[in-house]
Amino acid sequence: MDLIGRLYDTLHPLMRIACVGLVVMACYLLARVLLEARRAERALGNLFAALAGIEALDPYELRRGVPLPTIESLRARGSELQSNEQPLWREVEQHIEPYTNPEGEEGYFLTSQPRTILPEEAIAGRYYHASFHQAVPGLLTALGLLLTFVSILLALANVHVDGSQGSETVKGTSELINGLSAKFISSILGLALSIVFVLVERKVCERRITTAYEKFMNRLGEILPVLTPMRIQLDLQMYAGRQAVSLSNISSDFVNKFTGVFETQIAPTFAAGVSEELSQQLQREFRPTMEKMTETLTRLLTAIERLEAQKQHSVIFCPAA
């Protein structure tokens, strides 16, 4: 402590004020990061409390989906949230859709993963400015170095060459050299404050926010199942298989009934109609030909009879040899 006191006494008054201001600014930034982390943790706690009264679903209910009364209860709880927390719940509600499985049971599912719908940055970013807080350690270190250079600059301002006594002498070096170690107090102070800030931000603030976020995500996954593309594909395959079996049964019954009707009613009627029509058609086409053939055969028979008559006549009246 004596060493620190002596170093502090050797500082320029302006640098003393600057070092105190650096500590005050670091305390303010620490208080701000703790306050913002508390707000983000409280918002996540309120979202978790809105789901606290809903019972977790068993494996069968997770596959069937959430019933409509539970969804209405969730919507009522979401409407009771604070105004800055309701947009977060509406983001979840927009991804809740009904789905009917192949058994005909309707349930409600999330269409995306909870962490995709509400990333941690989307919730904590409304209250906790992580990008700014991550830049604070570098800012504190840079300010400490800046004060060190300013302190050295003020000490060098008193160094000058005096030639009034006929010889040139450098004056002011004693103040520069004697207080040179104190010039680095601001740099050390800036580095120490940046280390403290990093530890508080990473080990306290971010861990508390992450713990509250994981707790809320786990609870949301317990009461709202996610409808994945693989689940839809499997249900479609199951539905298509059942439809194929039903269609095959319908087809076999239809074929059997149609075969019976065709054999008992359609085929005889069709055969009778075709036979009668074909007979009439043949009569119309072959009647002229048959008539010509009848005339030709008649003439041929007449010619044969005439030849037989001539042959008998020649035999009877032929002279004996």
Question: Do residues 51 and 77 make contact, with C-beta atoms less than 8 angstroms apart?
Answer: yes
pLDDT beyond 70 at 134 = yes
pLDDT over 90, % of the chain: 20
Please report which confidence band the pLDDT of residue 212 belongs to, taking 50, 70 and 90 as the band edges. Answer: very high
Q: Which of 50-54, 67-71, 84-88, 265-269 has the lowest mean pLDDT?
A: 265-269
- Residue 226 DSSP class: B
pLDDT at 179 over 90: no
Whole-number pLDDT of residue 300: 75
- Scan for tokens 């005096």, then name that residue: 162
Mean pLDDT is lowest, of 7-21, 35-49, 56-70, 85-99, for: 7-21
- The encoded tokens of residue 187 equal 């740099």
- Residue 163 contacts by C-beta under 8 Å, 6 or more apart in sequence? 169
> Is the pLDDT confidence value at 177 over 80?
no
Per the model's pLDDT, the better-predicted residue between 271 and 31 turns out to be 31
pLDDT at 271 over 70: no
pTM value is: 0.64
Residues 163, 166, 170, 175: what is their CA dihedral angle, to the nearest 10 degrees?
-90
Average per-residue pLDDT for the chain: 78
Inform me whether the pLDDT recorded for 24 exceeds 50. yes
Q: What is the pLDDT of residue 227?
A: 87
126 pLDDT above the threshold of 70:
yes
| H helical segments located in the chain | 2-10, 13-52, 59-64, 68-79, 86-93, 114-117, 120-124, 130-157, 173-178, 185-200, 207-223, 229-261, 267-316
For 119-123, 167-171, 286-290, which range has the lowest pLDDT when averaged over its residues? 167-171
pLDDT of residue 34: 94
Higher pLDDT, 259 or 151: 151
pLDDT for 224-246, tens place per residue?
888 888 888 887 787 777 777 66
Determine contact, residues 192/202, Cβ cutoff 8 Å. no
pLDDT reading at 7 higher than 50: yes
Question: Binning pLDDT at 50, 70 and 90, where does residue 121 land?
Answer: confident
Query: Which pLDDT belongs to residue 63?
Result: 81
pLDDT score, position 238: 79
Question: Side chain identity at 130, as an amino acid letter?
Answer: A
Res 247: pLDDT = 59
Q: Which of 24-33, 44-53, 153-162, 224-233 has the highest mean pLDDT?
A: 24-33
Instruction: Give CA–CA dist 176/199, Å, rounded.
Output: 35
